[in-house]
Amino acid sequence: MSSAPTSISDLINKWPTIGDFADEVGCGYEAARQMRMRESINPKHWESVVAASQRRKIKGVTFKWLASQRAAKERASA
């Protein structure tokens, strides 16, 4: 079981490659790369990110965690 991620980039880095993350989540490579760079995942991908994280036994990735990451990013850029 993988430890809980501390950021969006940390979460994405739990996959062997960005391409692997993109394939498993169902988005394009460039979208996944932008998610990692921006530290933000579009809410339309949250369901598949949570499901993929559960399959990989990555602790702590929930809708609430994703929402808190998004809120922290918005506060930081305000």
pLDDT, tens digit, 9 for 90 and up, residues 49-68: 999 999 999 999 999 999 99
**CB contact burial 6-41 (16+ within 10 A = b; e otherwise):** eebeebbebbeebeebbebbebeeeebbebbeebbb
What is the percent of the chain where pLDDT is above 70? 99
Say whether 63 sits in a helix, a strand or coil: helix
Instruction: Kindly state whether residue 1 falls inside one of the protein's structural domains.
Output: no
Instruction: Kindly state whether residue 44 falls inside one of the protein's structural domains.
Output: yes
Give the global pTM: 0.91
| Spatial CB neighbours of 7, under 8 Å, sequence gap ≥ 6 | 39, 69
Instruction: Kindly state whether residue 42 falls inside one of the protein's structural domains.
Output: yes
pLDDT tens for 12-56 read: 999 999 999 999 999 999 999 999 999 999 999 999 999 999 999
**Domains in the chain, number:** 1
Instruction: Kindly state whether residue 2 falls inside one of the protein's structural domains.
Output: no
Which tokens go with 1? Answer: 């079981």
